[in-house]
């Protein structure tokens, strides 16, 4: 009798080894190698894949007929924006997020809304029974004859159910609970996640059915399983937010059919997630008036301008090395701007601790927030508040210049709609667009001049 071959696979990165090792050579993680049965791949013929009588061969791209992919609207504008305009048939979408953040609630609401538009939807749960899914749907007041539910973890039985129902959308909740019988490792292992995802990808591409799969998140904040999982799917969506706060942010970190800069904002209420159509009002509603270190910035999240509050606290250091802490901002960007303030403006910040935060839990990473960071640091250092009706926009260069930013007209219009009176922008952005009546636009060439305008001397 032939001996069964086994291998050891890292559950973090997918590294394979013939023998067990305490530390993975691939990702340097400890105790992550698990023994699995080695599956022999079937020999595949080298003939071309045929479709009917037509043989698919390589051809010049100029002779390929391009067809625009039709999209199915989710009837949820925030989700449509993140997906790039709607669901593309045949796409495979991975949704990740912390436990209890609302992934299942979001997808159940999506399923019910699509089912109400006469789209057949199959919701497959590997973590809840059918009755438990029904109880959650009743609590959220979701019901439809075209919404089918199934509690199953066997991939072969799931594929049979898809053949029977013929849905236009399939929800798999979650990928870590499903398994294939011919793989001996436990559900959630690298081999199971890889093979099950490959099966769902084949189902999506061959049937033209959109498939959403839920992925668990590790302690480090990344989706559990091999990184290959994110490479296989068409889109990766992250559902973020504090579990003890009501606001949730949905953003795309990968999207083959749209932009990865878009952001959707939801609020968790008694009847599920409700879309937030004007997030700027929410992020500014608790802002303190006349507080030193507080500056409002107009940031672009994809095609949408969002006004958020930046807060800075500068205090004398109590130990040998000053601390630099930032929440929602890049730590290196904060250190760079503090160095510019010290060198070009003359602020002695080397003996000061700096704590910066973006109010509301938003993460900002575009260059246009540099000026607001610098003004908030200077305001807290001098203990001098900025004007509460000011908005700062601009990129700060290493020589202290304020550089041009994109979409300045949309940012200023958003500030005007929310009642702000003055916007400080780069001097190079003046001209070429119409300033709304009722708001003052001040162009500044350097950081020194911007401090004069915002704080005075």
Binding residues for ATP, by number, are 97-104
Distance CA 376, CA 236 (A): 34
Eight-state DSSP code of residue 117: T
255 vs 84: CA distance, rounded Å: 8
Binding residues: 97-104
Cis? peptide before 174, omega within 30° of 0 = yes
CB within 8 A of 114, min separation 6: which ones?
72, 74, 75, 121, 168, 169
> Would you give the DSSP letter of residue 341?
I
Adjacent-strand bridge partners of 251: 238, 263
In eight-state DSSP terms, residue 166 is: -
Cα R_g (the chain), whole angstroms = 26
Q: How far apart are CA 94 and CA 452, in angstroms?
A: 48
Do 171 and 137 form a contact (C-beta atoms < 8 A)? no
Length of the chain, in residues: 457
Termini Cα distance of the chain = 88
Beta strands per DSSP E along 244-303: 247-255, 263-269, 272-275, 294-301
Which DSSP symbol is given to 41?
A: P
* Residues contacting 299, CB < 8 A, separation 6+: 305, 306, 307, 308, 362, 364, 366, 368, 369
Map residue 421 onto helix, strand or coil.
coil
36 and 8 in contact (C-beta within 8 Å)? yes
Angstrom distances, CA of residue 216 to CA of 24, 220, 223, 226, 342: 22, 12, 6, 12, 44
């Amino acid at each position: 009798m032939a001996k069964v071959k086994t291998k050891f696979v890292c559950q973090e990165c997918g590294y394979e080894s013939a023998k067990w090792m305490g530390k993975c050579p691939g990702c340097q993680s400890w105790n992550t190698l698990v023994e699995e049965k080695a599956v022999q791949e079937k020999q595949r013929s080298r003939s071309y894949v045929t479709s009917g009588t037509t043989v698919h061969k390589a051809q010049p791209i100029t002779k390929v007929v391009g067809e625009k992919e039709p999209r199915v609207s989710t009837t949820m504008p925030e989700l449509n924006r993140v997906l790039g305009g709607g669901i593309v048939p045949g796409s495979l979408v991975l949704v990740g997020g912390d436990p209890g953040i609302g992934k299942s609630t979001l997808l159940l609401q999506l399923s019910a809304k699509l089912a109400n538009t006469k789209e057949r939807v199959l919701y497959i749960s590997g973590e809840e029974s059918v009755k438990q899914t029904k109880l959650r749907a009743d609590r959220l007041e979701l019901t439809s004859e075209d919404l089918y539910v199934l509690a199953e973890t066997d991939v072969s039985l799931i594929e049979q159910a898809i053949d029977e129902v013929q849905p236009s959308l399939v929800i798999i909740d979650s990928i870590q609970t499903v398994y294939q019988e011919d793989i001996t490792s436990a559900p959630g292992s690298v081999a199971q996640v890889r093979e099950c995802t490959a099966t769902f990808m084949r189902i999506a591409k061959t049937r033209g059915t959109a498939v959403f799969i839920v992925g668990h998140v590790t302690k480090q904040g990344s989706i559990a399983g091999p990184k290959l999982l994110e490479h296989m799917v068409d889109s990766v969506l992250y559902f973020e937010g504090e579990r003890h706060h009501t606001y949730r942010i949905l953003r795309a970190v990968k999207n083959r059919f749209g932009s990865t800069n878009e952001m959707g904002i939801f609020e968790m209420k008694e009847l599920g997630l409700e879309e937030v159509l004007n997030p700027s009002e929410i992020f500014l509603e608790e802002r303190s008036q006349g507080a030193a270190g507080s500056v409002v910035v107009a940031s672009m999240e994809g095609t949408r301008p969002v006004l958020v509050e930046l807060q800075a606290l500068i205090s004398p250091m109590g130990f040998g090395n000053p601390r630099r802490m930032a929440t929602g901002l890049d730590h290196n960007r904060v250190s760079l701007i503090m160095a510019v303030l010290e060198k070009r403006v003359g602020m002695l910040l080397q003996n000061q601790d700096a704590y910066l935060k973006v109010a509301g839990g938003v993460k900002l990473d575009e260059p246009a927030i540099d000026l607001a960071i610098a003004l908030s640091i200077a305001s807290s250092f001098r203990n001098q508040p900025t004007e509460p009706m000011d908005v700062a926009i601009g990129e700060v260069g290493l020589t202290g210049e304020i550089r041009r930013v994109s979409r300045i007209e949309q940012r200023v219009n958003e500030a005007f709609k929310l009642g702000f009176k003055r916007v400080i922008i780069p001097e190079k952005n003046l001209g070429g667009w119409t300033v709304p009546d009722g708001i003052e636009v001040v162009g500044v060439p350097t950081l020194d001049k911007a401090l004069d305008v915002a704080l005075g001397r």
